[in-house]
Chain A
Amino acid sequence: MKSDVLIIGAGGAGLTAALHAKEKGVSVRVLTKEYPTRSQTCMAQGGINAALGNNGEDSVEAHIANTLKSAHGMANEDAVRHLCASAPEAVEWLDRLGVCFSRTKDAKIAQRSLGGASAPRACHAQDYTGLKILHSLYDKCLSEGIEILNEKFLLDVIVSEDKACGVSVLDIRSGEVEVYESKSVILATGGYSRVYDKHSTNSTASTGDGIVAAVRAGAKLKDMAFVQFHPTGLKNSSILISESARGAGGYLLNSKGERFVDELRPRDEVARAINEQILSGEEVFLDIRHLGEEFIDEELPQERKLAILYENIDPVTDLIPIKPVAHYTMGGIEVDKTSSTSLKGLYAAGECANHGVHGANRLGGNSLLELIVFGKQAGQNAAAYALLENSDVDIHPQVKYGSEIEDDNDIELDFYKIKEEIADLFYKNVGIIRCEKDLLSAEEKIQEIQSKLHLMGAEDRSKVYNTNRIEFLEFKNTLEVCAYVVREALDIKESCGAHYRID
């Protein structure tokens, strides 16, 4: 059955879009390659920005100024104004959905400081902010009876008469290709930090699938070279230690026990300062011991658990070894102020989209916010478009979709190994600091691997739940994304925010 609006991705942006589209009276269907509550959104810890002033004076203007400053002049001011001005209403909406935010003594939503912010502005639910927002959105979608189909891997956006009119997916459980028709399509498929693989805080699912499908359908990308490195990933596992640890007064120390940077500078600056220390042979640690056990258990319970599990250290008594790791990708599918891509009928929201609000460096606490503000915008506009779109587009049933998954390659090269090599190379050459020589060698490597793709593939040829095949499809997507990232990084000769050229 054809739906009016079809949403790919069931994280914060996808589910928000679904709720707002449904409110417009259209039929909505959501497809996800996982289950909704497994989306990347659940990993957001720090908070969602809104100038509520619940914990000291704040204003929408200050939020705008901080966002623009962090973006290093590369943001679209109108979009930033819309984002920040809509923030109080977005948080109020989440409060109505039942999100269990932490509270102040006078029963207001608690707010804390993150880097680059002039006031405590991040509304949070301990360090489970993303989890609690995502689950509340999911529960609301159930109450609205929104159809969500799990474990469908996006292959292509189907275009007919220059309009998006559905998608083809691989049903992971059956191994069959399926086609879903719709009047409009919203991509909410997340970012591409996993091109850095193990040097990323992200879920293994952040492989840029929607971005690559959008390009194939004819949509444009923007700012792909801009990748945010979070200053504090755990050294061995790249698991995120939230910025709120520094916001609350945590120190960064080198092996000599010296502080070497103002910990609350924007993320790009702090990440570079740490990187410099590491390159000079220092180890770098986050020190939150002085915050005390009670505070750590109340505000950072998840962090404590993860540090004990992955690094065998207890932040209450020990230093936390850290390194900067890929965390958020500012680049994505270019959209206008209606969240529409350059392809008619195709919308995008969340990390896969580029609304021009993050510029060269995203402000902490603005990513959960963009999911809610632009998820709404995309949902409403895709619904309005679907209501006006009466023509029944023929999606060419004779076309065989998904032929790319039928790889009968003779496998000579192990794509898992190559994926790791690329990640190491990208972390080193297309990471926190960049120069022409390193970028060129990375580009050459990507081209070389692309030319050898026919020698790689999924060894497992079975149909049912073939994750070897899915991971190969994801690998091919990350490879495409790598090519876009390195090409743009070469084109931009000047340093700007997260794109830092040393030549």
Chain B
Amino acid sequence: MKITIQRESLHSYEVDLADATLLEVLNEIKHTQDSSLVYASGCRSSICGSCSMRANGREVLACSYKVQDGDLIEPLKNVNVIRDLVVDMDKALSFNAKAKAWSLVSGEVSLVSQENEKINEVQSDCILCGSCYSACPVYAVNGEFLGPFSLTRVWRYVSDVREEDTKEKIDTIQTNGIWDCTLCNECTLVCPQDISSKADIEKLRARSAMDGHFDPSFSSGFSFDGSPSF
């Protein structure tokens, strides 16, 4: 089986492994053919988010993608490549802090019902692998866009019944945030945890509207009585 890896230039390797994950194949290459091949990995059970990369243009976790003959393996997009398949995640991760994606509970902690728990169960499965930033066409052109996983994380806290004050979070995501998303759904399609940042962004828009925010692209498009003026 042949796979090609985008390093400084394209490198092809022959590997004799059947029904193997991409991570197993990369390990095999590094340990027996080319010790200079560089990639990140950790848990090999799809939970640490280290081994995200692209197979034939599609974001995958190397530990859960089964290699096919002829595959082209590349690093994530929209992010600085440090070496081979390893990228610098610091910038994408910095948006979590910028978006204030954290809990603020000072008094008594509210009870969470089974129904409440389901509201952000999936969102709290995020492993920060960065696949969604790689696939996001908005982030590709606007490096300040808060981006999919950080907005999902904002919704994860905003929707949490324990959260006391969500206004600051909602205020924070108005610029370079929810309104910049084109709802193209690419993030959803590549998420290994079945999270839809697109859907979370829509929910944040609805919540923002309730808080008196509105889509800035419409700001000059409405007359005083609320009817569109274009």
Interface window among A30-38, A64-72, A315-323, A346-354? A30-38
Contact across chains for B49 and A239 when beta carbons are under 8 A apart: no
The B-contacting residues of A in range 145-202, CB under 8 angstroms, are 150, 173
Contact across chains for A468 and B128 when beta carbons are under 8 A apart: no
**What are 20 A-B contacts with C-beta separation under 8 Å?**
A37-B49, A38-B43, A39-B48, A95-B109, A95-B162, A97-B103, A100-B124, A101-B112, A107-B114, A128-B47, A139-B153, A140-B103, A173-B88, A204-B44, A205-B42, A302-B45, A458-B35, A459-B35, A462-B36, A465-B84
Contact across chains for B82 and A42 when beta carbons are under 8 A apart: no
Q: Is A108 part of the contact surface with B, judged by Cβ < 8 Å?
A: yes
> Which A residues are in CB contact (< 8 Å) with B96?
139, 142
Closest CB of chain B to A292's CB: distance in Å?
19
Contact across chains for A38 and B111 when beta carbons are under 8 A apart: no
Contact across chains for B117 and A98 when beta carbons are under 8 A apart: no
Q: Is B100 part of the contact surface with A, judged by Cβ < 8 Å?
A: yes
Q: Is B131 part of the contact surface with A, judged by Cβ < 8 Å?
A: no
Q: Is B93 part of the contact surface with A, judged by Cβ < 8 Å?
A: yes
Of the residues A42, A107, A306, A312, contact of B113 by C-beta under 8 Å: A107
Q: Is B163 part of the contact surface with A, judged by Cβ < 8 Å?
A: yes
Q: Is A228 part of the contact surface with B, judged by Cβ < 8 Å?
A: no
Contact across chains for A37 and B128 when beta carbons are under 8 A apart: yes
Q: Is B105 part of the contact surface with A, judged by Cβ < 8 Å?
A: yes
Of the residues A126, A204, A464, contact of B42 by C-beta under 8 Å: A204
Chain A's closest residue to B45 (CB) is A239
Closest CB of chain B to A459's CB: distance in Å?
5
Contact across chains for A43 and B102 when beta carbons are under 8 A apart: no
Q: Is A295 part of the contact surface with B, judged by Cβ < 8 Å?
A: no
Render A228-247 as a binary contact track against B, CB cut-off 8 A, 1 for contact. 00000000010110000000
Q: What's the Cα separation between A237 and B43 when bound, in Å?
A: 11
Closest CB of chain B to A145's CB: distance in Å?
8
Of the residues A38, A132, A458, contact of B48 by C-beta under 8 Å: A38
Contact across chains for A103 and B113 when beta carbons are under 8 A apart: yes
List the count of A-B residue pairs having beta carbons below 8 Å apart: 146
Contact across chains for A42 and B127 when beta carbons are under 8 A apart: yes
Q: What's the Cα separation between A462 and B82 when bound, in Å?
A: 13
Q: Is B133 part of the contact surface with A, judged by Cβ < 8 Å?
A: no
Contact across chains for A465 and B83 when beta carbons are under 8 A apart: yes
Of the residues A98, A309, A459, A464, contact of B82 by C-beta under 8 Å: A464
> Which A residues are in CB contact (< 8 Å) with B49?
37-38
> Which A residues are in CB contact (< 8 Å) with B84?
465
Contact across chains for A103 and B35 when beta carbons are under 8 A apart: no
Q: What's the Cα separation between A37 and B45 when bound, in Å?
A: 14
Given contacts A126-B121, A142-B96, A460-B36, contact A302 B44 (CB under 8 A): no
**B-contacting residues of A (Cβ < 8 Å)?**
34-35, 37-40, 42-43, 92, 95-98, 100-105, 107-108, 125-126, 128, 131-132, 135-136, 139-140, 142-143, 150, 173, 203-205, 237, 239-240, 302, 305-306, 309-310, 312, 416-417, 458-460, 462, 464-468
The A-contacting residues of B in range 1-54, CB under 8 angstroms, are 19, 21, 30-32, 35-36, 38-39, 41-50
Q: What's the Cα separation between A460 and B36 when bound, in Å?
A: 5
Contact across chains for B109 and A96 when beta carbons are under 8 A apart: yes
Closest CB of chain B to A134's CB: distance in Å?
10
Contact across chains for B157 and A98 when beta carbons are under 8 A apart: yes
> Which A residues are in CB contact (< 8 Å) with B86?
465
Contact across chains for A34 and B50 when beta carbons are under 8 A apart: yes
Given contacts A43-B45, A205-B42, A464-B82, contact A37 B127 (CB under 8 A): yes
> Which B residues are in CB contact (< 8 Å) with A136?
103
Q: What's the Cα separation between A46 and B32 when bound, in Å?
A: 36
Contact across chains for B102 and A42 when beta carbons are under 8 A apart: no
> Which A residues are in CB contact (< 8 Å) with B111?
107-108
Q: What's the Cα separation between A310 and B64 when bound, in Å?
A: 9
Contact across chains for B43 and A98 when beta carbons are under 8 A apart: no
Interface centre among B47, B112, B114 (most CB of A within 10 A): B47
Contact across chains for A100 and B43 when beta carbons are under 8 A apart: no
Chain B's closest residue to A472 (CB) is B35
Q: What's the Cα separation between A132 and B35 when bound, in Å?
A: 35
Chain A's closest residue to B31 (CB) is A416
Interface centre among A101, A126, A128, A131 (most CB of B within 10 A): A131
Closest CB of chain A to B128's CB: distance in Å?
5
Of the residues B46, B83, B101, contact of A306 by C-beta under 8 Å: B46
Closest CB of chain B to A18's CB: distance in Å?
14
Contact across chains for B124 and A135 when beta carbons are under 8 A apart: yes
Q: What's the Cα separation between A107 and B44 when bound, in Å?
A: 34
Q: Is B126 part of the contact surface with A, judged by Cβ < 8 Å?
A: yes
> Which B residues are in CB contact (< 8 Å) with A101?
112, 117
Closest CB of chain A to B75's CB: distance in Å?
12
Interface centre among B21, B102, B121, B126 (most CB of A within 10 A): B102
Contact across chains for A139 and B44 when beta carbons are under 8 A apart: no
Render B85-96 as a binary contact track against A, CB cut-off 8 A, 1 for contact. 010111001001
Interface centre among B35, B64, B90, B160 (most CB of A within 10 A): B35
Closest CB of chain B to A147's CB: distance in Å?
12
Interface centre among B48, B101, B103 (most CB of A within 10 A): B48
Contact across chains for A98 and B160 when beta carbons are under 8 A apart: yes
Of the residues B42, B113, B157, contact of A203 by C-beta under 8 Å: B42
> Which B residues are in CB contact (< 8 Å) with A135?
124, 126, 128
Interface centre among A40, A100, A306, A464 (most CB of B within 10 A): A100
Given contacts A35-B89, A139-B103, A143-B102, contact A239 B35 (CB under 8 A): no
> Which B residues are in CB contact (< 8 Å) with A310?
21
Contact across chains for A34 and B42 when beta carbons are under 8 A apart: yes
> Which A residues are in CB contact (< 8 Å) with B44?
203-204, 237, 239
Chain A's closest residue to B98 (CB) is A142
Closest CB of chain B to A128's CB: distance in Å?
6
Q: What's the Cα separation between A232 and B162 when bound, in Å?
A: 36
The A-contacting residues of B in range 165-212, CB under 8 angstroms, are none
Of the residues B38, B93, B125, contact of A465 by C-beta under 8 Å: B38
Q: What's the Cα separation between A103 and B111 when bound, in Å?
A: 9
Q: Is B140 part of the contact surface with A, judged by Cβ < 8 Å?
A: no
Chain B's closest residue to A41 (CB) is B48
Chain A's closest residue to B100 (CB) is A143
Contact across chains for B82 and A100 when beta carbons are under 8 A apart: no
